[in-house]
Amino acid sequence: MRIDIITIFPGYFEPLSMSLIGKAAGRGDIEFAVHDLRAWARDVHHTVDDSPYGGGPGMVMKPEPWGDALDAVLPAPDPAGPPHQAGPGQVRLVVPAPSGRPFTQEMAVGYSRMDRLVFACGRYEGIDTRVIDEARARVPVDEVSIGDYVLAGGEPAVLVMAEAICRLLPGVLGNAESAADDSFGGGPGSGMSGLLEGPVYTRPRIWRDREVPPVLLSGDHAAIARWRRDAALRRTAQNRPDLAARLQPLDERDRQVLSEAGFPVNGEDVAH
């Protein structure tokens, strides 16, 4: 996978050279290219923003440098091809924005299957909307939010999304099964689909008079799996009732655990 990032703060992305993702990049499994938007500014001061039409506070990122940057970074469109088929491979432009659709584990999985992602990091009040509209005629474009809050720029959001995406790529995690047991992303075979991950433990067995749950030491894999699912159900009901309300299908034990957690379920497996 290749990931291009356009930003006015290229140094922000040094963490991508660290940890497992940095090692994967060092092996050539991931290619990162960080581009300084100011390289496409058209004046001696490398200006990339201006006051908004219609008045109001803040500044808006100018279309000229962004248009030139995307012309240089995005693949050239194929005049003979259908819309959204620009050049070889699958390419998508992702624009972090608080007004975008929420970023989810499901989206991370989808993005991890792309050949190439281009991230456009806005600042101030955002990028001139015409830039996004023009880009949509060339490649698929997603405006994406990582949460219901506002950041100073898109860079932190890109770091979050890049890590969520890249850790799903083959060979990045030491144990391929780790991603299957993640919160939100447990596959159908894991028995954890749609649940938050439950509590985890390691050695020593007793720490500050707190003991590891005995079932985890029992060697009974079926009992351990059931305990983990019960713990995940309780945590999901407590911390994310919106997710608990969508859990299907549920067995009798699931319904009992949710009910004990104050989240009763009716006969149609609808929690309320």
Q: Is the pTM of this model over 0.75?
A: yes
Catalytic residue, from 167, 228, 229, 255: name it: 167
pLDDT at 225 over 90: yes
Other C-beta atoms closer than 10 Å to the C-beta of 177 total 9
From the list 128, 182, 230, 254, the catalytic residue is 182
CA-CA distance, 242 to 236, in Å (whole number)? 9
**Would you call 65 a catalytic residue per the annotation?**
no
> Does 182 qualify as catalytic in the annotation?
yes
Compute the average pLDDT of residues 237-264: 94
Question: What are the CA-CA distances from residue 16 to residues 5, 55, 217 (Å)?
Answer: 11, 38, 37
- The SS3 of residue 63 is helix
Diameter of the chain by CA atoms?
A: 70
Task: Clarify whether 98 is annotated catalytic.
Answer: yes
pLDDT in tens, 89-117: 589 999 999 999 999 999 999 999 999 99
Which residue type occupies 222?
A
Per-residue pLDDT of 43-53, as tens digits, reads 999 999 999 99
Quote the DSSP letter at residue 46.
Answer: -
Query: What are residue 57's phi and psi, to 5 degrees?
Result: -75, 160
The three-state secondary structure class of 202 is coil
Crossing angle of helices 19-27 and 155-166, rounded to 10°: 70
Asked if pLDDT for residue 176 goes beyond 90, the answer is no
From 10, 63, 77, 98, the catalytic residue: 98
Give the pLDDT confidence score for residue 269 in this predicted structure: 58
260 is catalytic: no
The single residue of 68, 125, 163, 269 carrying the catalytic annotation is 125
